[in-house]
Structure 1
Amino acid sequence: MSGLTIEQKNEIVLARSEARPTLRPTVSALEEWMHRAIPVLDHGFVRLVDYMGDDSAIVQAARVSYGRGTKTLTEDEGLIRYLMRHRHSTPFEMCEIKVHCKMPIFVARQWIRHRTANVNEASARYSIMDKEFYIPESAQLAVQSTANRQGRGEVLDPQQAEDVQHLLLRDAEQNYRSYEWMLNEDEHGLPLDRSRPGLARELARMNLTLNTYTQWYWKVDLHNLLGFLSLRADSHAQYEIRVYADVLLDLVKTWVPMTHRAFLDYRLGAVTLSAQMVQVVHRKMLGEKVTQADSGLSKREWSDFKAAMQLTD
């Protein structure tokens, strides 16, 4: 995986060689994450650049106190679980992270729909896009699902998968050659033909394929990060964004372990029931036999309810 440029690698070496004393709370386990690029997909990565706060910051904000460790760890975790269970948000907003991420453009366009962070993306108006493209592994190439309009079905057979990979790479490389021709510059910024001018970068970029890699700095508070993870770390999320979410979920586990445990229990591993679904649960607990026809639920709701509760009838 190339992923990082030489300049970025040198920046990381320099950052990791400089020790900075601080009076603010730090998380020793998370310090090991700092300035390390965690590989994702074939050319992507997630790199922790900075963070603020920890589990104690959440507790402190909730109690509006001035000190740390004023209660036992058991009481602190109980409070965090209460806040998560009852969907309090502002205490979790006291913690923030900033990450440097590299991902395919189509993943970035999904990601940016979470309009709750500060983002600064590499601009193809000012710089030349890297000649790097996401080519899915064979196991990720599948037909359209017949049950889910947004999902995948059966995996393609090996020959079909190889054909798709070849087509994706061929088109991406052809479009990049056209991009270079329009710019009249190669991927290193060197001129191709001094006898003609190049097209403006802001125009030449428009024919790049969506599997071209982009990158950004993404700063988000913990509350909104958990909102992102509740959707993108879910098993129904698209694989190509879920793998980034999985890395961020591991980061949360290291950073705020109490919050991570509460998040798994009350958000990621939990289900939401409608008022009608709760009534069905009550009736079943009383021994009634409830069917979809007399449940007050639509067929789709009944199917979702059965799946969530792992019911067979």
Structure 2
Amino acid sequence: MTLTPEQQSEIDAQRASGTTTLRATAPGMEQHLYTAIPVLDHGFIRVIDYMGDDAAITQAARVSYGKGTKAVSNDEGLIRYLMRHWHSTPFEMCEIKLHVKLPVFVARQWIRHRTANVNEYSARYSILDREFYIPAPEHLAAQSVVNNQGRGEALSGEEADRVLRYLRDDAMRAYDHYEEMISDVGQQGLARELARMNLPANIYTQWYWKVDLHNLLHFLRLRADAHAQYEIRVYAEALCEVVRDWVPFAYKAFEDYRMGGATLSSGALECVRRMLKGEEVTQENSGMSKGEWREFMGVIEG
């Protein structure tokens, strides 16, 4: 990722203009403010603003306990209890606003998480930059033969070279035509809102994305998962590091109960109980389908 001199100057100015505040701040998050964290070849995430910290979560939870019960639990223990029992409202008391630069096809996956506020760079009014996501060779993969949404083995040799060449050449050709169509030199020039439809899905866009912690953790649970598409997963992984520094108690509970935990059906729990009693349980006598049994054994065997 390369920042323009103007972008770097803006970041330097923002980080230099410290202000005094009476509100709670998170030291770890203060270190992230405004700084661009590189993702993919031209992308980044930047924390623009945030509200709340671990204490804000416990403060919101304790308000419902009644007067005189403030010390019911220590903060970390209470946060773990809230996470363990799927209490969502206290986590909604924390919010974060991000500036994200990402390929359009990644943005179309990201926007499916609708519980956020989004304002995207408009190609109706502005001209998009000549920046495209081109995968590194090790991330060029064939279609998976077992998962319609997944990737198989990496491409190699002449095929990999040809695919990379197509991706670069097609993107550049489309942008050349885009520039030519919107130019008003010797012609009227096509409206930007029409010319943009010729641009490929790997061109970069930017947006501001504001979300509360509860919905952000839901996003991370799905998109930082090993099964998520690589190009959105790396954004989620970068965000995980930010959240870990922002709300360390909440993030540790999230790691333990969401990312590292597992949810079992009533039938799966019954199978576990039978196994603990020494009974031999198989897919045939478990009451599960083959797919359910395969996932169950993946949890049990690790």
1:25 and 2:24 matched: yes
CA–CA separation in structure 2 for the residues paired with 1:96 and 1:298: 41
In structure 2, the partner of 1:304 is: 295
CA contact (8 A) 1:138 1:158 kept: no
What is the percent sequence identity of the aligned residues? 60
Whether 1:287 and 2:286 are equivalent positions in the alignment is no
Cα distance between partner residues in 2 of 1:89 and 1:39: 30
Q: Kindly provide the CA deviation profile for residues 248-302 of structure 1, in whole angstroms up to 9, marking residues without a partner as x.
A: 1101100000001000000011111111111111111111101111111001111
Q: Is 1:120 matched with 2:111?
A: no
Partner of 1:162: 161
2:151 maps to a residue whose letter is R
Q: Distance in 2 between matches of 1:295 and 1:43?
A: 49
Residues 59-78 of structure 1: CA deviation (Å, up to 9, x unaligned): 00000189xxx649x71111
Taking structure 1 as the reference length, what is the TM-score of the superposition? 0.92
Question: Deviations along 1:26-77, whole A, 9 cap, x unmatched?
Answer: 01121110110000000000011101000000000000189xxx649x7111
What is the aligned partner in structure 1 of residue 193 from structure 2? 202
Aligned residues: 299
Report matched runs for 1:1-16 at 5 Å.
1-2=1-2, 4-16=3-15
Name the SS for the 2:80 alignment partner.
helix
Equivalent in the alignment of 1:232: 223
Distance 2:264 2:28 in 1: 37
Matched AA of 2:260:
G
Q: Deviating runs (4+, > 4 A) in structure 1? A: none
Partner residue of 2:76?
A: 77
- For 2:194 and 2:7, the matched residues in 1 are separated by 27
CA contact (8 A) 1:183 1:201 kept: yes
**What SS does structure 2 have at the residue aligned with 1:237?**
coil
Q: Counterparts of 1:1-313 in structure 2 under 5 Å?
A: 1-2=1-2, 4-64=3-63, 71=71, 75-184=74-183, 191=184, 193=185, 195-310=186-301
Structure 2: where are the runs of 5+ without partners?
A: none
What CA distance in whole angstroms lies between the structure 1 residues aligned with 2:59 and 2:92? 12
2:205 is paired with a residue whose SS is strand
Using the size of structure 2 for normalisation, the TM-score is: 0.96
The one-letter code sitting in structure 2 at the alignment partner of 1:299 is: K
Secondary structure in structure 1 of the residue aligned to 2:284 = coil
Tell me the secondary structure at the aligned position of residue 139 of structure 1: helix
Deviation at 1:6, TM superposition (A): 3.6
Q: CA deviation at 1:183?
A: 0.7
Q: Distance in 1 between matches of 2:4 and 2:198?
A: 23
SS at match of 2:32: coil
AA at the equivalent of 1:142? A
Q: Which letter maps to 2:171?
A: A
What is the CA RMSD across the aligned residues, in angstroms? 1.6
Q: CA separation in 2, counterparts of 1:296 and 1:264?
A: 31
* Residues 92-135 of structure 1: per-residue CA shift (max 9 Å, x gap): 00000001000000000000000010000000001001100000
| Range moving further from structure 2, 156-165 or 280-289 | 156-165
SS of structure 1 residue aligned to 2:285: coil
How far does residue 90 in structure 1 lie from its aligned partner after superposition? 0.5
Give the 3-state SS of the residue equivalent to 1:293 in structure 2: helix
How far 1:176 sits from its partner (Å)? Answer: 0.5
